[in-house]
Structure formats: structure tokens, C-alpha cells
Chains A and B, each alone.
Chain A
Amino acid sequence: MKKYLQLTLGVLLLFAARHAHAQTLSDAIMMKQREICFALMYDYGTWDHYWEGAELRVNGNIGTLTRKTTMGMVAYGVTKNLNALLTIPYIETKSSGGQLAGVKGFQDISIALKYEAFNKKIGNGKLLALATGAFATPMTNYLSDYQPYSLGQGTTEWTLRGIVQYELDKGMYVRGSVAHLWRGQTEIERDYYYNNGSYYTTYMDVPNAWNFQGTLGAWLFKYSLQLEATYFIMNCISGDDIRIYNAPQPTNKVEFSQVNLFAHYWFQKKAKGLGVLAYYSHMLEGRNMGQFTNIGGGFTYQFKL
């Protein structure tokens, strides 16, 4: 009963945007039992080029697309080996060109469990292995079939991720993670669409995907500053290409690679428990996706219940 209450509490509040910066779901940080962390983050993403299939192009009727995400997140230490996370993103999109209306609203609520399966000292450092399982589902009836303005893919998503990190005693570390994302179908507001052939249905299959991340990082100033550089790859395993000069749709095979620079600072004395973070990311290559550049930042506050 007590554990159940703790879990419920841990799931009270939190934020995260699917596909954006799943730092907490893919890092190797665990919180101790009964520790709770609240985070509030803001992300500003833009693109003025997008990949139509593999071809990078512009579209004067979109101009620059802007996507602003405000995200709340709560993480909770159920035990020292098991953390729970909950995220809620609020997103607003608009474009500088053309006359199509942007949209705003809550996107997908995500609930995740993170488990530390292995933690051993090896050589001059330690080796960690973790797994996270996440479930996300739309919080509102936003329309997924209104791309590129849609808030999201409009479907449930299960993610299973494995994480391995080797960390030197001096504080430098290298980390890799692999995740598989299972997506369901998204309900759209028309009962016919073309996806290399006719479909007579109000549902679209959203392709499953793999995600790979490789990170170099370091702890500095007695573990008060964390710096990371990450190479991030997201690849759908099926799907069609955006048709020529046409809007994307949820069935598309989305792929991209991205570099991400990240810093997180924890105040040590005057405001113990408080942290600030900032990041920058940029997409290098892609398919059926806007070439996003994102900057973001936020606050974290952690304490023991």
C-alpha cells in the first residue's frame, strides 16, 4: 500500500515531449528512494527546410515553421533501482509563410519506469546498465493529420530502451542507448487517403521506429555540472515518403539524425536541490521531416519526501 501511494505521488506532475529530448529517459541517472524531482522546460524549435523523401527543400507557403514546447516533468525514486517519470507537453505551432492556421494544445502524456539492472565497479570506473519502458498517449483530440502543424502523431506509443554507461572515477563517461518505439494507429478526420494506394478508413498506421543515441559526457566541479554531447538517430522501420509538394502525413517514414549539446548545473549550497539546464540541438540528415534546430532550457528541483 505504501509503495502504491509512493508511485501515485510520483506520477502526479511532470513534463516531456515525445521525440524531442528524452534526456531523463535515456540517461543513466537514478534518484534515490523517495526522492522527487520536478522539472519545467521550454523548447523552441524551428525549421525553414524540410526533407521531402530524402530531398531537402523549402516551401514558400510555410516559410519558417516554429514549434514551441513547454514541458512539465516529475520523476520519483520508487526504490533506488526503480524510478518513475511522468511528462506533459504543451505545444504551439505556426508558420511564417502561407495562410494555414497554426495549432496549440496539450500533446501526449508519457509515463515511464526506469530500472537500474547493473551497477558494478570495473577498472577505474563503473559500468551501469539500465532499461526504461514508457507509454505515451494523446491527452487531447488534436488532429495528427494536419502536418506539419500537428502537435504529434496522435497515437499511443510504447517505448522500450536499453542503456549502457561506463563512467570513469574522474567523472567522464560514455553512454549508448537503443530503443524500439511501437506506435499504434491514429484516427483522422477523413475516411479516404492515399498511401501508395487507396485506403478506405479513418485510421492511419503510424510506423514503428528505432532510436539510437551515443553520448560523451563529463561531471565537473564536484558533480555540480554535467555536460553532454549526443548523437541521436531516429528511424521509422516502414512508411511512405511525403509526396511531391504535398503535406506530410502520419504514415510517413520519418528519419533523422541530430547532434545535441546539453548542460545541467546543480546548485550546491544556497539553493540545494535546484538545477538549471540548457541545450541546443540540430538535425544533420533526415527523411520526411523538418530540419529542426532547437534551443531549450529549464529548471529542475529535487528533494526528498
Chain B
Amino acid sequence: MKNKIFKIFFGAFFGVSIFFSCENDLPTRAEFTSIDFSGLDENGGTWAPVLLSSASEIVVDAPTAVNSTEYQAELSALRSATQNLSGSQVEAVQYWTNNPILRWNEIALELAAKYNLIPGPNPDGTYTLPNAANPAGPPPFPFAHPPYTCRMLAYLSVAQFDGLITAWHYKYTYNRPATYATDTTIPYAYTKNSLPSFPSDGAVIAVVSRDILIAMFPLEKDYLQAKAAEHLGSLTWSGSSVQSDIAAGEYIGTEVKKIALARAAGDGMKNAQTPKPKSDSIKAAALARFGWQWDNLESPVRPVGLTPLFGKVKMWNVPTVEEVRPVAPPAPGSPAFEKDAQELRDIAKNLTDNQRKIANWWSDGLSTYTPPGHWNRLAKDFMIKYKMNPLRSARTFAYMNMAIMDAGISCWDAKYYYHYPRPIQTIPGFKTILGTPNFPSYTSGHSTFSAAAAEVLAYIFPAEATFCRDWAQEAAESRIYGGIHYRFDAEIGIDQGQKVAQYTIDKAKLDNAN
């Protein structure tokens, strides 16, 4: 059952014992070193980018000819650079692989988990919020909660996707063959294919990922620069790219990241965490409109909920947030409410082992990669299973993360429009096995995020559609078992996430990648 093996030899005396412990090595990343791509998407340069007007908006000049002395010198330099690799260089080649989109996604999730810590109270009972203008804090910036993380992942994925569409466009415009095809003495570390080498897709990914993540996690600048430097180095050590391939890729990455970060600067996120007077007026509006309001029950009380105006952030593929706003929830005390409240009491009283496990499995709370991160991890596993190339991986992440962020925006719109109280507020003495988050109940964020992610994954991986939708359903149920959401939060959240995702899927159907 539990794969724990201990072999113990006790010596005759205390202190003279020898102990052998053979424990599981605990994995810190997905295990793969090279992917034999299921296809190269030779028409990738014709796909519709998200932010760029076209794949040729960023202009890349033609490279030197294959038989030019400059290029031959580059090949010769590459050949010598692949000889006598150090141990750390070999490790870097094995780590980054020929689909580094997956590694940068893991890095993004790790930073999300690292920064997903809610600021605690000051000694006087006040709270200080993270401040982008003073990232060191305390508390450090950012607090990578689910809205922050879903947005971070969306910009990262969209920028990677547009950069790679551009790279593919020029790869198949200029058709410079792979390094190892021109010079067969160059040892190539991964599975060979016919993808043209100029510009380097790896360099696009390294630069765009580094720069988007530095903008999102400013305190990680040194760490991210070191990661990117290692990644760029691995392009040489693996025999993938000569310097001019890399330089062109870096140029594309730099241009794309400017466009992505310009959108991010103006998307309304900086206003999402409102001051208290604004937050109070949002709450008062809900009370006047519906006769109820959510209150934070922490000690000391948090004066403002999490990102009350995240619902006003610019959406990717839904024209207006109002058109996907769900119907009003049942009023506290109504028969429909009492039915779902009674279910929560019953579950709390007779929680099964399986319900507890589901609650914890999808909890994705503080100090984790959040539900959007969880779905990125699941998507990554599919990309490995289906041997996706970097371009198609970036497309999958981009559409999924746009849908997840749109779902988050729609969910937050509902949360603060309806301002619905949590079970611990409406059910006297109610205790939970998960911590109740600092924002209103209706609708469930887990449910909307998960349903949106599942719909996009079901579209891209039709063979996995049932799994994905079942997982989303389970993620939604998990919040009921945890005692922090009513069933109507979860069910209407699922419906809302599916509706929101449809806008993104409709767009994906027309991007020429199908």
C-alpha cells in the first residue's frame, strides 16, 4: 500500500546503529527529457495571434545563407560548444527539453505558490496590503491569490503563443534547416525533426517568459534572469540553435512582451483591490438591492474583501461581463437556501473519508498554485501525453488561461454584485474543514475556473473530455464538502464557467489551427 520501506539494523548499543532508509524520491517537476512531437504545425505562422494583428507584425530580417561564411562560422562555434559539456550543462539540457513551455509553466506555478500567502494582521489589528510600488514590503508583492494567478498565467501564455506564431511564420518563410541537418557532426540532444531553426523558438520562450514573470513577480528578477540565462544556454549546449537563431528569437520575445505588458497595464487590475469606502459602497448596494451582505468573519476583521473590482477587469473574449452574469441566488431563509444549508450541516456531521479527500484534493488554497494553477498542471500532463510541440502547447495554455481568467472575472463580478454570505455566516456555529476565503460566496470560484478550464481542455483533447468535465464537477463539489460553499454556488458556478469558456472556444475554432 504505502510504498515506504525501512530497513533497520539496530546495533548492540545505542549510538552504534546503522540505519538505511529507502524512501520515495519526491518529484519536484514533470519527468520528461525530450518529446517526439506528434506534429510540427508547419502552418503555425498562419494562425491568428491574440494580441498581434498578424504573425508578421514583428519584422524579422532574413538570416544569412546556409552556405555563407558567417553561418558556417556559427555552426562551427556551436559544434565546439556542444563538446565537453559540464555536469550542470548536461542537467540544463535535460531539464529544459525541446518543449520549454512546460518548464516555464512549472516555474510560473511555483512562483504562484511561493507568493500565495495572505497578509496577516499588524500588531495593532490593521492589515497592510502588498504594494506594487514597494514590492519588498512587508508584506511582499504580490499576494498571488487566484485572480492574480489566473491573470499572470493568461498574460504569460498569450505572450508565449503570439511569440511562437511569429517564430513559426519566419521559420517557414526563411526555412533555415535545423543545425544538425546542415552539419551532421553537431550532436543534437533531443528527438530530431524538420523544424527550421531560425528564429529559435526556445529563445522566444525564454525571453518572453522571463520578462512577463518579472513584471508579475518583481522580487524574483534575479531568479528569473538566471533561469532564462540557463535556458538560453541550453539552446547552445543541446545543439539546437546558433547565435543568430537565438538573437532573432530574443528580438521577437522582447517585442511581444512589450505588447502584452502594455495590455496588462491598462486592463483595470490595478484598481481591483479597492479602498474601504469603495468596498463599503459595493456592500451597501448589495444590501439595498437584495437585503443581504457578506461579512468577513476573520479575527481581526479584514476591512476589504479580496479584489472587489476584479469583475471590472478587461476580459479576453467576452464582450461584457454582464452578459454572463448568473441569476440571483436564493435568499437566505428561503426553502431553496434551507435545502442547501441543511446539506452542508449533514455533510459536516457525517463527512466520509472520500468527501474529505475530495475537499483536500481540490483545495488549492494558500501556499499552493491555486485552482487556475491546478488546471495548468493537468493541461501540462496532457501536453506531455499527446506530445505537443511548443507552439501547440502555447496555444492550449493561451486559450485555457484566457477562458480561466474570463471565468474569474465573471465569477468576481457575481461575487461582489450579489455579495452573498458564506455558510459560516448564515449557519450558526458552523465549522468547516477548509478555511473560508476572504470574498463572498456566490458563485464558487473553483467551480467557474474549473468548468472553464475543463471546457477548453475538452475541446482541445476530445478524448479526455469526460475526465476533464468530471474533474471540474469534483472540484465544484469539493467546496461543498469543505463547508465553504452552498450547492447552488457550485452548480451555477459550473454553468457560468461553461458559458464563459464558450466565447474562447468559438474564437479558437477560427484561429486556423484546427
Contacts and interface: CB of A to CB of B under 8 A. Distances in A.
A, B from the same assembly: yes
Given A191-B361, A200-B27, A200-B29, A243 B117 contact: yes
Contact of B432 (A100, A133, A188): A100
B360 A198 contact: no
B365 to A, nearest CB: 9
Given A61-B298, A245-B117, A194 B26 contact: no
A156 B4 contact: yes
A59 B125 CA distance: 11
Interface stretch (A8-16, A138-146, A274-282): A138-146
Nearest to B436: A99
A192 B117 contact: no
Given A101-B433, A158-B8, A193-B368, A178 B14 contact: yes
Nearest to B8: A158
A52 to B, nearest CB: 9
Given A60-B298, A99-B436, A187 B363 contact: no
Contacts of A98: 298-299
Tier of interface size on chain B: 35 or more
Contact of B26 (A59, A162, A201, A243): A201
Interface string B26-38: 1111100000000
Interface string A151-190: 0000110101110000000000000001010101101111
Contacts of A187: 2
Contacts of B357: 189
Given A97-B299, A203-B26, A145 B360 contact: yes
B23 A184 contact: yes
A160 B366 contact: no
Contacts of B433: 100-101, 146
B467 interface: no
A133 B19 CA distance: 13
Interface string B370-411: 000010010000000000000000000000000000000000
A260 to B, nearest CB: 21
Interface string A73-103: 0000000000000000000000001111110
Given A99-B430, A162-B15, A198-B110, A190 B360 contact: yes
A130 to B, nearest CB: 9
A189 B354 CA distance: 10
B298 A133 contact: no
Contacts of B353: 141
Interface in A3-41: none
A220 interface: no
A303 to B, nearest CB: 30
Interface in B271-300: 297-300
A158 B27 contact: no
A102 B432 CA distance: 9
A180 to B, nearest CB: 8
Given A60-B121, A184-B4, A101 B360 contact: no
A103 B204 CA distance: 51
Contacts of A100: 431-433, 435
A205 B28 CA distance: 13
Contacts of B436: 99
Interface in B100-135: 106, 109-110, 113-114, 117-121
Interface in B1-52: 2, 4, 6, 8, 10, 13-15, 17, 19, 21, 23-24, 26-30
Contacts of B26: 185, 199, 201, 203-205
Nearest to B140: A244
A131 interface: yes
Nearest to B21: A182
Contacts of B486: none
A131 B11 CA distance: 11
Nearest to A242: B367
B369 interface: yes
A245 B432 CA distance: 19
B246 to A, nearest CB: 28
29 contacts: A60-B298, A100-B435, A101-B431, A102-B431, A141-B353, A145-B360, A146-B433, A158-B8, A162-B14, A162-B15, A182-B19, A185-B23, A189-B357, A190-B364, A191-B361, A192-B364, A192-B374, A193-B368, A194-B113, A194-B114, A197-B28, A200-B27, A200-B30, A201-B24, A201-B26, A244-B117, A244-B120, A244-B139, A245-B118
Interface of B: 2, 4, 6, 8, 10, 13-15, 17, 19, 21, 23-24, 26-30, 106, 109-110, 113-114, 117-121, 139, 297-300, 348, 353, 356-357, 360-361, 363-364, 366-369, 374, 377, 424, 430-433, 435-436, 483
Given A160-B14, A160-B17, A178-B15, 5 more contacts: A101-B431, A188-B360, A198-B369, A199-B28, A200-B377
